[in-house]
């Protein structure tokens, strides 16, 4: 079964740090780009970060640049999100999601086709 | 960054109704537009990718259309399990963005 399982979410104080993990199974992890997406309480989905299959290309949501680092270990079939200087507004459920590719008349495109169930980060004093 | 605007933000409908949700991009994104369904406590689920391609396993009552800046998601005959929040998402640029969501509620 194709599966993503996040872990590492917890209660952390403002200014603290945390690393989230996402373990993949049921597919060849090293062949796929990956993303982190979050949902704050009562809010919509927000894309956080992207990493290419090799880890050589990385993108971040502008407002989070400088505070987060995405990484992966293909040998361990795992994706990570390191978060520093956490703020109350970082409180959210964090999902990892696999990017799948397609090709049509417009060229190559991507969509997030496999998602984990999420891990909850609460930033509070 | 590309902004995505959905309308309406919420929608009340009955089982069997046909509904349409619209999504507008702040610049042309060709057909790099995906639609997701999200239920509380669950993982989001992709319904449509490339603006109009139905993801495997998704019922045919769901359909998508559009290109450039204007897109629509249509559910032809609402079923009880369709009441959820729906999001559009662009995959054109180097950063993805979601619309703010449309909450579909039972009338």
pLDDT digits (tens, 9 = 90+) for A54-105: 999 999 999 999 999 999 999 999 999 999 999 999 999 999 999 999 998 8
Find the CB nearest B50 among A37, A102, A117.
A102
Separation in Å, CA A53 to CA A1, A35, A77: 20, 11, 11
**A24-50 mean pLDDT:** 98
| Chain-chain contact of B89 with A47 (C-beta, under 8 angstroms) | yes
**A33-50 mean pLDDT:** 98
β-bridge partners, A109 = A102
Query: Residue B43 has what pLDDT?
Result: 97
**A113-121 mean pLDDT:** 98
| Chain-chain contact of A44 with B36 (C-beta, under 8 angstroms) | no
CB A60 within 8 A of CB A47: no
| Chain-chain contact of B95 with A117 (C-beta, under 8 angstroms) | no
Query: Which DSSP helix (H) or strand (E) runs through B14?
Result: none
Q: Is A106 on the interface with B (CB under 8 A)?
A: yes
- Nearest CA to A116 out of B42, B34, B100 is that of B42
| Chain-chain contact of A62 with B32 (C-beta, under 8 angstroms) | no
CB B88 within 8 A of CB B65: no
Interface test mutation site (partner B, options A65, A111, A114, A120, max chain B beta carbons within 10 A): A111
Q: Which two tokens mark B44?
A: 């989001």
Q: Are strands A11-12 and A119-123 parallel, antiparallel or unpaired?
A: parallel
Query: Residue A108 has what pLDDT?
Result: 87
Residue of A nearest to B42 (CA): A117
B87 to chain A: which residues are within 8 Å by CB? Answer: 44-45
Residue of A nearest to B92 (CA): A109
Query: Residue A106 has what pLDDT?
Result: 78
| Chain-chain contact of A111 with B31 (C-beta, under 8 angstroms) | no
pLDDT digits (tens, 9 = 90+) for B54-98: 999 999 999 999 999 999 999 999 999 999 999 999 999 889 999
pLDDT digits (tens, 9 = 90+) for B11-30: 999 999 999 999 999 999 99
Only one residue has tokens 């403002």, namely A14
Query: Residue B94 has what pLDDT?
Result: 86
**Which residues are within 8 A (CB) of A8 and not within 5 positions of it... i.e. 6 or more apart?**
A18, A19, A20, A21, A119
Q: Is A112 on the interface with B (CB under 8 A)?
A: yes
């Amino acid at each position: 079964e194709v599966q993503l399982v996040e872990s590492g979410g917890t209660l952390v104080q403002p200014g603290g740090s945390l690393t989230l993990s996402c373990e993949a199974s049921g597919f060849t992890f090293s062949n796929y780009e990956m993303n982190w997406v979050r949902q704050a309480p009562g809010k919509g989905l927000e894309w956080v970060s992207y990493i290419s299959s090799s880890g050589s290309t990385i993108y971040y949501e502008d407002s989070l640049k400088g505070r987060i680092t995405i990484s992966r270990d293909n040998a361990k079939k795992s994706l990570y999100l390191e978060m520093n200087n956490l703020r109350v507004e970082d409180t959210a459920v964090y999902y990892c999601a696999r990017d799948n590719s397609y090709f049509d008349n417009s060229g190559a495109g991507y969509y997030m086709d496999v998602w984990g169930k999420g891990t909850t980060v609460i930033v509070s004093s | 960054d590309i902004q995505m605007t959905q309308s309406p933000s919420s929608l009340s409908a009955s089982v069997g109704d046909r509904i349409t949700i619209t999504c507008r991009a702040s610049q042309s994104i060709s057909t790099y537009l995906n639609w997701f369904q999200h239920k509380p406590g669950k993982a989001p689920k992709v319904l449509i990718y490339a603006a109009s391609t139905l993801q495997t396993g998704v019922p045919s009552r769901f359909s998508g259309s559009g290109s450039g800046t204007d897109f629509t998601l249509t559910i032809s005959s609402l079923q009880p399990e369709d009441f959820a929040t729906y999001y559009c998402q662009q995959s054109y640029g180097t950063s993805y963005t979601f619309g703010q969501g449309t909450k579909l509620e039972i009338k």
